[in-house]
Chains A and B, each alone.
Chain A
């Protein structure tokens, strides 16, 4: 479906994996950010990606543990960067543009580029 279609946040968006324009895995929809206010319509403004977005979704001790292991970063994916939503969320742009591959690229520099056929 297109992001402009009506969708159920919990069953059709939250915890879906993200694939960027080049079909690379680049995170999971960990939470969403809303736009709006009292008396105004609520709209999803951005997808929140990263272990920092687990706050409030898991018990405190679990959040503490996860952030100790995986850090507490959060990346924001503007809703207009979503192309389609299905069994994964497909993005319109490369992961790097949204800061989604920052850790992946940092860890890449640790791996020697030799020996593999």
Chain B
């Protein structure tokens, strides 16, 4: 890959990294617990780098996307259960992203939320039909880079850098009541889930297959997953840190997705607010497309249909019908009037429960020398893979009890 393509790929990964759940949980986490949850973003980002790299490597070497392999490894019965659970969690995530677009457009225009959500969904569907896949990915990913305004805003408000850096060290704040400790644990699980959403590896590895990656692309894969995901995560950390600096001390609870945009308005006024809202809009739009496509990829790969967005819609007909139906279904969920925040909560909750089932077959395959030859997992990927598998399994077990005990992190 030439340097321009590589740079564009990294920038797309950065702009497309943040989604509505990360926006919401980063802002809330900063306001409630100061800098104390930054380390969770750091750990989860290393986790998505590890699994993202594995899924890209498997795509490049075995030339198989995640869902084909999952069925082969888990068998038909458990595979169907995993497929169903993934579809539900990713569908809810897609609905949350479309709802998020409606809300952001509502802040920008003042028009009714549901009308804007419906319009957003239709515009996204039209863009998915008309534009070649690379254009869609690049357009939303690169425009999502407007979210860099959050990092610039953080610098402009002069945060206490020593305390912010201290947030990267794993910690539990002192002096929390039992209720607050449970809320802290809930946020830990929710951030892990929001950063490591399973749809990300389905989408990423399917993209690798579509672009016909081979072993020569392994360096691109490694650079994109480490630098692209790493820089993308820094945007989420910027939102958390600004929230800790601006909202926490003022006892402001950023309960709606748009609250985060105020972080850019404080140092830069209306221009900052506009850039932040537009950046959020495109980042969330990109995530809506990714979630919808990830679900269509999953179904098509599981049943062995023709698939791919590098093809014209009629060249992979069942796949096309699948993504249209899934998008309409997500839109229907939004049209019921369910709150975006509730959708975000359900999305992270369902996703963390599905994560171990997604990552186990991927890890087994990435370590299989029969398929992966000399590119099979070495000691570092193996060690980190099992470590993160243990982390997401523990989080999956704890997620629902924590959600119930804290009423969704209310503390």
A residues in contact (CB < 8 Å) with B: 14-18, 24-28, 30, 49, 51, 54, 57-59, 62, 66, 70, 86-88, 101, 103-104, 107-108, 110-113, 115-117
Asked if B62 CB lies within 8 Å of chain A CBs, one says yes
Is the beta-carbon distance between B79 and A57 smaller than 8 angstroms? no
Q: Which of B71, B300, B303, B321 has the most CB of A within 10 A?
A: B303
Q: Which 3 A-B pairs have the closest CB atoms?
A: A28-B304, A27-B304, A107-B317
Report the stretch among B106-114, B307-315, B336-344 that lies at the interface: B307-315
Q: Which of A54, A62, A116 has the most CB of B within 10 A?
A: A116
Chain A residues, Cβ within 8 Å of B68: 16-17, 28, 88
Flag B281-320 by CB within 8 Å of A: 1 or 0 each. Answer: 0000000000000000000111111110000111001101
Is the beta-carbon distance between A15 and B71 smaller than 8 angstroms? yes
B residues in contact (CB < 8 Å) with A: 62-64, 68-69, 71-72, 75-77, 79-80, 129-132, 135, 300-307, 312-314, 317-318, 320-321, 371
Q: A17-B64, A27-B303, A87-B69 known; 16 other A-B pairs, CB under 8 Å?
A: A15-B76, A18-B304, A25-B300, A49-B304, A62-B77, A62-B80, A66-B80, A87-B63, A88-B68, A101-B306, A108-B314, A111-B317, A111-B320, A115-B129, A116-B130, A117-B135
Q: How far is the CA of A28 from the CA of B134 in the complex (A)?
A: 28
Q: How far is the CA of A54 from the CA of B301 in the complex (A)?
A: 16
Chain B residues, Cβ within 8 Å of A27: 303-304
Chain A residues, Cβ within 8 Å of B72: 14-16
Q: How far is the CB of B216 from chain A (nearest CB, A)?
A: 18
The answer to whether A88 and B64 touch (CB under 8 A), given A27-B304, A54-B76, is yes
Is the beta-carbon distance between A103 and B318 smaller than 8 angstroms? yes
The answer to whether A117 and B318 touch (CB under 8 A), given A87-B63, A87-B64, is no
Is the beta-carbon distance between A25 and B305 smaller than 8 angstroms? yes
Chain A residues, Cβ within 8 Å of B71: 15, 28
Chain A residues, Cβ within 8 Å of B135: 117
Is the beta-carbon distance between B62 and A87 smaller than 8 angstroms? yes
Closest to A10 in B: B75
Is the beta-carbon distance between A57 and B77 smaller than 8 angstroms? yes
Q: How far is the CB of B360 from chain A (nearest CB, A)?
A: 15
Q: How far is the CB of A14 from chain B (nearest CB, A)?
A: 8
Q: How far is the CB of A13 from chain B (nearest CB, A)?
A: 9
Chain B residues, Cβ within 8 Å of A51: 303
